Amino acid sequence: IVAQIPVGREPYDVAVTKDGYYAFVSNTSEGTISVIDTLSLQELDLDAKEPGIQRIQLPLAAEPWYMALDPSAEAQRGFVTDRAWSVIYQFSTSRTNNFAAYPERIAMPDFEKYSGMTGIAVTESTQHTSAIVEFDVRGETFRAKLTTPESIQAAEAAKAGKGPRFP
C-alpha cells in the first residue's frame, strides 16, 4: 500500500483515466464520486469556496456503484451504475470541466423492475455523440446505445449474451 486516501462514505468502485492522472471512486451511500489526483495521492476539492470536500454530486437518492471510463481520448466521460435503480449516470473526466456531473439520469427502458446493475464497460464510442455500454442485471448481460447531445438518453437496449459478463 502506497497511501490510504480518505474519500466519501461507502466507497465501492474505482476507475482510472487512461493517462493515469486521475482516479474516480463511487461513494455509494453519499451519492457522490470522489476525484483523486494520483500524483499527489489526494482527493480533489471541486469547489474550495464551500466548506468540506466537494465531490461530483449525483441526483438526490443516487447510489453510485460500478464505474467505467470512456476509452476514447476525446470523449472525457465516465459512466456509473446505480445500486438501487435501473439508472446509469454520466460524468465528465476532464479537469477543465471541473469534473462536472451531468444531472440527467439514463433510465434504462424495460429495466424498471430490476435494480442493482453490476459491472459496466464502454465497448464502443464516437467522441461526444454516443457510447455503447454493457452491464449486468441479475446475471444477464445487456448492451445499450447511449446518445449524448447536451443531455443523455438511452436509445436502445438489448441482451448481449448469456450469463454475466462481469465477475
How many CB atoms are located within 10 Å of the residue 122 CB? 19
DSSP result, 98-154: TTPEEEEEEEPTT-TT----EEEEEEEEETTTEEEEEEEETTEEEEEEEE-SSS-EE
Distance (Å, rounded) from C-alpha 141 to C-alpha 118? 9
pLDDT at 156: 41
- Span 138-159, average pLDDT: 55
Residues 86-145 pLDDT 10s: 778 888 888 887 777 664 566 665 555 556 677 788 876 665 556 667 777 667 777 777
pLDDT at 127: 56
Rg (CA), the chain: 15
pLDDT at 52: 93
Residue 163 in this model has a pLDDT that exceeds 50: no
Grid cell in block for residue 77: 466521460
pLDDT at 25: 97
**Mean model confidence pLDDT for the chain:** 78
Grid cell in block for residue 45: 476539492
pLDDT at 101: 61
Residue 34 in this model has a pLDDT that exceeds 50: yes
Contacts 24+ apart (CB under 8 A), 30-34: 30/55, 31/57, 31/58, 31/59, 31/60, 31/61, 31/62, 31/63, 31/64, 32/8, 32/56, 32/57, 32/58, 32/64, 33/58, 33/64, 33/67, 33/78, 33/80, 33/91, 33/99, 33/101, 34/7, 34/8
